[in-house]
């Protein structure tokens, strides 16, 4: 087995785009690393713990099996013909550039029986956005990734967050914790943010032999989730009327502060 990583470190978007205060925002057991040596994983672990786990695994179980600064160019399906210049036999030929030499990348070819593409499907590259008359705005404009808001003083400030996904939920929580007086989340569609107890119950409830939760229990949990939204004055996402728990392409976020801040009039969405 061989892992090719374009970056100079392991951890993917958690390493490049995650904030120091970022936490796993949903389905945490899917992120949980094998618990061997070291501290136990928290529920919704912070970025530091995820990167610690990744580094530990990369330097132990995957030692000498990771090639950093290796940019994959192509993956081609071929028959096992034993082509020259290839390291091992396999059904696929992978071409990649070894970027360790800086301006002089070295093209390499290997063969493998199986290829797994572990690429981010949600965040992608940071999209730079500008608006008409933005230069007249007297406040600060920051992106909520890569620690870009770390030095901002939010005490008593009115904050507008553009976007309705996981990072929007995270930044709403962060600026409220940092003392913002009001937060407005502006997005094309509302995302789904559940209380942590609903997320927790989804993992501790007994499962069927097919590993599915009982439908009756799921309906009760969703009903409680809806009641919590109504009690706290949270506008439900439009997708709920369409029979979807979360919008297409969105994940479900987990945030008690999302509901509590709505209840106290600190947070609203449009």
Secondary structure of residue 76 in the 3-state scheme: strand
Q: How sure is the predictor about 206, in pLDDT bands with cuts at 50, 70 and 90?
A: confident
Q: What's residue 161's pLDDT?
A: 97
**Residues of CATH 3.50.50.60 domain(s) within the chain?**
3-112
Mean model confidence pLDDT for the chain: 87
Question: For the chain, first and last CA: distance in Å?
Answer: 48
Residue 136, token pair as written in the block = 């007249």
User: Domain 3-112, CATH 3.90.230.10 — does that match?
Assistant: no
Round to whole Å and give the CA distance between 198 and 220.
10
Cβ atoms of residues 194 and 225 within 8 Å: yes
Q: What is the pLDDT of residues 207-262, one digit of tens each?
A: 888 888 888 888 999 999 999 999 999 999 999 999 999 999 888 999 999 999 99
Cβ atoms of residues 95 and 108 within 8 Å: yes
Round to whole Å and give the CA distance between 25 and 170.
8
Round to whole Å and give the CA distance between 184 and 267.
6
pTM, two decimal places: 0.79
Which residue reads 């374009």 in tokens? 6
Q: What is the pLDDT of residues 176-194, one digit of tens each?
A: 999 999 999 999 999 999 9
Give the up-direction half-sphere exposure of residue 32: CA atoms within 13 A in the CB hemisphere.
15
Can you name the residues that pair with 66 across neighbouring β-strands?
Answer: 3
pLDDT at 40 over 90: no
Which residue reads 């093209």 in tokens? 107
The residues near 143 (Cβ < 8 Å, ≥ 6 apart) are 126
Cβ atoms of residues 5 and 70 within 8 Å: yes
Q: What is the pLDDT of residues 56-93, one digit of tens each?
A: 888 888 888 999 999 999 998 876 445 554 555 678 99
DSSP letter (8 states) at residue 12: T
């Amino acid at each position: 087995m061989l892992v090719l990583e374009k970056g100079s470190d392991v951890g993917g978007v958690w390493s490049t785009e995650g904030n120091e205060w970022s936490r796993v925002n949903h389905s945490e057991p899917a992120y949980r690393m094998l618990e061997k040596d070291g501290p136990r994983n928290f529920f919704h672990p912070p970025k530091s713990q995820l990167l610690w786990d990744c580094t530990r695994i990369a330097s132990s179980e995957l030692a000498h099996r990771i090639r950093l600064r290796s940019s994959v160019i192509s993956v081609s399906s071929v028959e096992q013909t034993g082509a020259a210049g290839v390291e091992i036999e396999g059904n696929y030929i992978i071409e990649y550039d070894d970027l360790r030499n800086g301006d002089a990348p070295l093209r390499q070819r290997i063969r493998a029986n199986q290829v797994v593409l572990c690429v981010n499907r949600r965040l992608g590259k940071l999209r730079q956005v500008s608006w008409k008359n933005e230069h007249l705005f007297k406040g600060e404009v920051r992106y909520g990734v890569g620690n870009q808001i770390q030095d901002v003083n939010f005490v008593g400030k009115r904050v507008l967050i553009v976007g309705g996904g996981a990072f929007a939920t995270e930044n709403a929580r962060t600026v409220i914790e940092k003392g913002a007086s009001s937060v407005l989340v502006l997005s094309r569609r509302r995302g789904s943010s559940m209380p942590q107890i609903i997320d927790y119950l989804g993992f501790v409830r007994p499962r069927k032999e097919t590993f599915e939760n009982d439908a009756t229990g799921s309906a009760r949990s969703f009903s409680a989730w809806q009641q919590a939204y109504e009690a706290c004055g949270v506008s439900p996402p439009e997708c709920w009327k369409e029979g979807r728990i979360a919008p297409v392409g969105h994940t479900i976020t987990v945030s008690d502060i999302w509901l509590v801040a709505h209840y106290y009039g600190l947070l609203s969405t449009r």
